[in-house]
Amino acid sequence: MSEGIRLGPVRIADRRSPWQGQAVYLELDSAGIRAISPTPEPAKVWVSSGWVEVCAWSSQPQLPAQESLAALARRAWRGGFTTLLIGGWQGWHEPEIIAQLRRDAASLPVEVLFLAAWATPQGDIAPLESLRAEGAFGWALPPEWSLPWRTLIQALPYLRYLGGPIFVLPFWEAHLVDKGVPEAPELALSGWEGLPDYTETVAVHALAALRAAYGGTILVGPLTTAAGLQEARRHGLLSFTGLSYTAAEASQLLTYDAFWKLHPPLRPQSDRLAILQALSQGQIPLIASYDYLAPPEEKETEWASAAVGQPTLEVLAPLLWQALQEATPEPPSPTLLAEVLSERPRRILGLPYLPLDIGHPLDLTVFAIEDTPRPTAWPGWTSPLRVVGPIRSVADAHNLRSQMP
């Protein structure tokens, strides 16, 4: 038997585990959890199966000025994620790029899965079978592209055959120029212009018709409006939202702070609360960081010329915990957090997910609920939830043990 470690006391945040909610000690070795023993000792630290980031964004690996895949993975690790699903901000539609990304990911601390683009920027269908053979896990288009309806209609039957989730982003108004939603007074005052928010509703309706005709595991998002949510529910579409649309609302755009310049833009408070409540009740099953780390020199400038995007990987769990307090009549449960960040994405995306019990592999996330809120990686935001860190090896467990209260 390999050398192990005794970790605890911890509480189990897994609704399917026979130990759910109990304070226990975990005996870990390289094969996984080899023993679990209950304890009467108090525990403020919780453990769940490893968290899954549903959809973050990165750049081409050959662009040295952009964030490297290794740097992105380190931010995901600090955020508590053991599995990272990413797409290309400029679209990965070339098999050799996917092959290079897989080579780059081989030595990273997190498992990295890649979303290839099903079309090229010119609107042609990408070499789908070659992309899949090189390791594309699923399919998506980057936020800055217009949605190519023609190629989507042509590609959907083949994507269903190849397999993997298909992330369709209905809010295509980010194409070419910065646009927003003039119907929201806050956005109009911030100088945004563009398509009304019912474009999300129209797009969801159209995607529902395509899914009905061609099938496939289509995930629609990030949903940002109550109307878009209602339309997705009416058609039984799998959907996701982004952290920013649960943690913040459009009045923050009145600061003209380019930190809040996003695609899609922030919504009024009524939409934010509707999306947040739906997430807590499972009507929106998934949340994504929707992370894109815009270079500081492109973000820290006047609103009109600032880049879009936000660094959200490290703050997803703490800020989601704060937001869930508004959506639930009782204080949020660590079990709900584990369900949103681990169970749902693993089940929907077809990733391994075992109840947290003896024999569970070393793919765990440890987090603490503390009495006093701490600052997060976003200036001005605090949360009582602290990510202690992920565990994918015995060495990780040794490192985390010293950080546990």
Span 225-234, pLDDT tens digits = 999 999 999 9
Query: Could you report the per-residue pLDDT of 161-182, keeping only the tens digit for each?
Result: 999 999 987 655 444 444 444 4
For range 39-49, the mean pLDDT: 95
- Would residue 20 count as lying in a domain? yes
Give the pLDDT band (50/70/90) at residue 192: low
Same domain assignment for residues 207 and 303: yes
Above 50 in pLDDT, residue 156?
yes
Q: Do residues 15 and 345 touch, judged by C-beta distance below 8 A?
A: no
Above 90 in pLDDT, residue 134?
yes
For range 310-320, the mean pLDDT: 95
Distance in Å from the first CA to the final CA of the chain = 29
Say what percent of the chain tops pLDDT 90: 62
Of 303, 321, 342, the last residue of a domain is 342
* pLDDT attached to residue 180: 45
In which element (H, E) is residue 54 found?
strand 51-58
Cα-Cα-Cα-Cα dihedral of 378, 382, 385, 387, to 10°?
Answer: 30
Above 70 in pLDDT, residue 185?
no
Same domain assignment for residues 246 and 360: no
Same domain assignment for residues 249 and 208: yes
For range 128-147, the mean pLDDT: 88
CATH for 360: 2.30.40.10
- Would residue 62 count as lying in a domain? yes
* pLDDT attached to residue 44: 87
* pLDDT attached to residue 94: 95
- Would residue 348 count as lying in a domain? no
Give the pLDDT band (50/70/90) at residue 191: low
* pLDDT attached to residue 187: 62
Question: What range does the domain containing 24 cover?
Answer: 5-48+353-401
* pLDDT attached to residue 299: 83
Same domain assignment for residues 167 and 143: yes
* pLDDT attached to residue 162: 93
Amino acid at 363: D
C-alpha Rg value of the chain to the nearest Å: 21
Roughly what angle, to the nearest 10 degrees, separates helices 226-234 and 269-280? 40
Above 90 in pLDDT, residue 329?
no
Above 70 in pLDDT, residue 369?
yes
In which element (H, E) is residue 296 found?
helix 296-299
Query: Could you report the per-residue pLDDT of 270-290, keeping only the tens digit for each?
Result: 999 999 999 999 999 999 999
* pLDDT attached to residue 177: 47
- Give the total number of structural domains in the chain: 2
Above 50 in pLDDT, residue 388?
yes
Nearest to 42, CA basis, from 369, 377, 381, 382: 369
State the Cα–Cα distance between residues 319 and 376, nearest whole angstrom. 8
State the Cα–Cα distance between residues 88 and 96, nearest whole angstrom. 14
Same domain assignment for residues 57 and 190: yes
Q: Do residues 360 and 28 touch, judged by C-beta distance below 8 A?
A: no
* pLDDT attached to residue 184: 57
Q: Do residues 2 and 27 touch, judged by C-beta distance below 8 A?
A: no
Same domain assignment for residues 306 and 396: no
Same domain assignment for residues 82 and 33: no
Same domain assignment for residues 115 and 101: yes
Of 323, 342, 361, the last residue of a domain is 342
CATH for 205: 3.20.20.140
Same domain assignment for residues 41 and 145: no
Average pLDDT, the chain: 88
Same domain assignment for residues 258 and 383: no
- Would residue 338 count as lying in a domain? yes
Above 80 in pLDDT, residue 146?
no
Query: Could you report the per-residue pLDDT of 49-63, keeping only the tens digit for each?
Result: 999 999 999 887 767
* pLDDT attached to residue 138: 96
Same domain assignment for residues 278 and 312: yes
Query: Could you report the per-residue pLDDT of 293-311, keeping only the tens digit for each?
Result: 887 788 888 877 888 889 9
pTM: 0.93
Nearest to 137, CA basis, from 219, 236, 51: 219
- Would residue 12 count as lying in a domain? yes
* pLDDT attached to residue 170: 64
- Would residue 347 count as lying in a domain? no
Of 307, 322, 342, the last residue of a domain is 342
Above 50 in pLDDT, residue 37?
yes
* pLDDT attached to residue 383: 94
Which residues are bridge partners to 239 per DSSP?
220
Cα-Cα-Cα-Cα dihedral of 292, 239, 254, 385, to 10°?
Answer: -70
- Would residue 175 count as lying in a domain? yes
- Would residue 306 count as lying in a domain? yes
Same domain assignment for residues 253 and 383: no
State the CB neighbour count (10 A cutoff) for residue 161: 12
